[in-house]
Amino acid sequence: MMSEELRVLEQLRASIDRYPRSSHPEEYATLQFNLGLALAESPHGEHGDNLKLAIQAYAEALEVFDERRYPLLRGRVLTALGAAERDLGLTRIARDRFQEATRVLHGLDSPAEIGSAFNNLGLAETDLANAEEAIAAFDLALDAFSDVRYERQRAATLINRGLARAAVGSESSLQAATDDYRKALDLVEPESAPYVYGLANHSLGVALLSLPGDRTSLLSDSIRALDASLSIFTKSSYPFQHALAKNNLAVAYEEIALGDLTSQRRALARLEEALMVFDPRVNAEQWREVNANFTRVLERLEAMTGHSNRLRHFVELLAALSAPERLDLLRFRMRTYLDLPEPHRAQNLEALDQAIIEFGNDSLPALTKDWLSILMEQPHEHLEAGLASRLAAQSEVDDQFSGPSAVALEKALGHLEIIQRMRVRDLLSAMGHERPEPG
């Protein structure tokens, strides 16, 4: 079945055939422009090939949309053309397109087009490490986006200007960048502009990590901002941004309390979660940075505790957290393992279960209750896999651990609704599990 995106592309190409340039120049150029936009955004095929086809379509549109008769349309196409060229890495050429677009659009009553052209020019100048020119372009974009109708565009431009300022690296530039990010957050809500909201918070968190001053206060603010960004940058929706935010959050946790076990273990957990996302073959630079941070924190924890068992540190962290934070952290880890293909799923789940069981102490019932409640949220296949892994882990540990684990499982079952409890008992029984003797 043909996707909607492919259907649109097919319809545009068919329309271009029906409206040739010789007899319908305006319709032809408009269709070529729309074809270029659709190709640039298409999820099908090679992105680079699609961009090259988009550039060809934009060039066809520009043959018709000359500056004298169609200044607005020409400026719009030039901005789109520059965006495609910038995406291909042709940054200097793209900059020239954006500069031409701003010149063509000058004096027109079209703030959206003017603001977009200057914003894209600022991005190109940022790519070229021309911070001063980038900031000047963003200033002009913000002037264009001054109307209340353009609050989302204004917020995005404020973030871009903040990133250009932060790249300068001076204290005053970093402070100005944080001001831009906060202004952006004043303009958007997570429901109406989720990506802009997430990016503003992430950018703010990163800038605060670098600012000199009261480090405890700055790091606390950074942690809050990065946590807010993760409410948008989830692993499923924005994996790359999610992993970046987890790495930066770990850096904040590491520094805020170097001698505190819980803070260091929080850092380790976030770094491990980032490593689960970054592929060293695709994200080599990011993976190396996160892995270096992970190794450093794990070595510090070994010096503090005498062991470097990452799963044991994870369970010790769970035991030290409040119930809501513990549940969220365990849920993320379990879902990550449950999504793995076999045999990796079973291996990781069993290793986690064994670490929980062998940790023991008074936290075992609460951890087991959370573990079971998370499994009950999952599809049947994952519930079965989770229960099987717990039983496999119980069979591998010493009796001093397996007995208390079985009792903790029984107590956790008691917290379920009766229908859920019967369902889980049937599954456990089919797996050969025997209920522990009371007392």
Quick: pLDDT tens for 32-56.
999 999 999 999 999 999 999 999 9
In a domain, 66, yes or no: no
DSSP state of 213: S
What percentage of residues in the chain have a pLDDT greater than 70? 99
Tokens of 57: 């379509």
Residue 330: CB atoms within 10 A of its CB come to 22
In a domain, 190, yes or no: no
Q: Which residues, in sequence order, are CB contacts of 387 under 8 Å at separation 6+?
A: 375, 424, 427, 428, 431
Distance of alpha carbon 91 from alpha carbon 56, whole angstroms: 17
How much is the average pLDDT of 347-355?
97
Tokens of 76: 């719009």
In a domain, 418, yes or no: yes
Q: Based on the structure, what is the number of domains in the chain?
A: 1
* 8 A C-beta contact, residue 351 and residue 315: no
In a domain, 399, yes or no: yes
Residue 410 has pLDDT above 60, yes or no: yes
Phi, psi of 295 (to 5 degrees): -60, -40
Phi, psi of 147 (to 5 degrees): -70, 150
Tell which wins on pLDDT, 6 or 57. Answer: 57
Tokens of 10: 């097919």
Residues of the domain holding 372: 329-438
Residue 153 CA: distances (Å) to CA of 77, 81, 184? 19, 19, 10
In a domain, 386, yes or no: yes
Residue 160 CA: distances (Å) to CA of 63, 201, 337? 32, 13, 36
* 8 A C-beta contact, residue 122 and residue 130: no
H-type alpha helices, 169-309: 171-187, 194-210, 215-230, 239-256, 261-277, 284-305
Length of the chain in terms of residues written: 439
pLDDT, position 436: 81
In a domain, 273, yes or no: no
* 8 A C-beta contact, residue 364 and residue 356: yes
pLDDT band for position 4 (50/70/90)?
Answer: confident
The crossing angle, in degrees rounded to 10, of helices 418-430 and 380-396 is 60
Quick: pLDDT tens for 94-123.
999 999 999 999 999 999 999 999 999 999
Distance of alpha carbon 94 from alpha carbon 77, whole angstroms: 12
pLDDT, position 149: 94
Q: At 164, which helix (H) or strand (E)?
A: helix 151-168
In a domain, 240, yes or no: no
* 8 A C-beta contact, residue 77 and residue 62: yes
Distance of alpha carbon 427 from alpha carbon 439, whole angstroms: 24
Quick: pLDDT tens for 234-276.
999 999 999 999 999 999 999 999 999 999 999 999 999 999 9
pLDDT, position 3: 81
Mean predicted lDDT score pLDDT of the chain: 96
In a domain, 357, yes or no: yes
How much is the average pLDDT of 131-145?
98
* 8 A C-beta contact, residue 316 and residue 281: no
Residue 194 CA: distances (Å) to CA of 138, 161, 185, 229, 234? 22, 19, 11, 9, 11
How much is the average pLDDT of 416-424?
96
